[in-house]
Amino acid sequence: MFLGTIEEQWKLLEFLLWSHQDNNEYKKLLEWLEELASGGEGFEKTFVDKQERGVCGREMKHKEPAYKCNECGVDGGCIQCVECFENSDHTGHDVKRTLVSGGCCDCGDPQSWSPKGFCKFHQGPDASVKNIR
Ligand SMILES: [Zn+2]
Ligand SMILES: [Zn+2]
Ligand SMILES: [Zn+2]
């Protein structure tokens, strides 16, 4: 009986110790996973946000006002949405306000719009990479 009890006590102690350790490990594992998950999400969010900031690409509605710049637009079809235009510097440029029938804002796309006419939010697709480095 006595040995049995000791054995049972040891088993209980062992069980408590192990379950205690397991709980700690489990908590640590959870914390670690949470950290990893939020860290990964944080990085992805930052990265995606910066990517989105690089180029506007705003889809223009029919008859939405937009701006064309003779110096910045690569051709006559390139436009900048009002928000982008108001946040960019076209001092001394030949700028025309227009109503577009569709398409999307070219701000931030160096193949359609001169980088000197990018707004402060869209500094081109390479800008995000430069920021991370
Ligand atoms: Zn825009
Ligand atoms: Zn822009
Ligand atoms: Zn311009």
DSSP string for the chain: -HHHHHHHHHHHHHHHHHHHHHHHHHHHHHHHHHHHHHHHHHHHHHHHHHHHHH---PBPPTTEEEEEETTTBSSTT--EEHHHHHTS--TT--EEEEEESS-B--TT-TTTB-GGG--TT---HHHHHHHH-
Ligand 1 mean position to 73 CA, how many Å?
13
Q: Is the pLDDT of residue 50 over 90?
A: no
Say which ligand is closest to the CA of 92. 3
pLDDT at 133: 44
* Each residue's pLDDT tens digit, 2-17: 556 777 877 777 776 6
* Each residue's pLDDT tens digit, 23-36: 667 677 667 667 76
Ligand 1 mean position to 104 CA, how many Å?
8
Ligand 2 mean position to 16 CA, how many Å?
61
pLDDT, averaged across the chain: 81
Ligand 3 mean position to 23 CA, how many Å?
62
Say which ligand is closest to the CA of 120. 2
* Each residue's pLDDT tens digit, 56-95: 999 999 999 999 999 999 999 999 999 999 999 999 999 9
Domains detected in the chain:
64-132 (2.10.110.30)
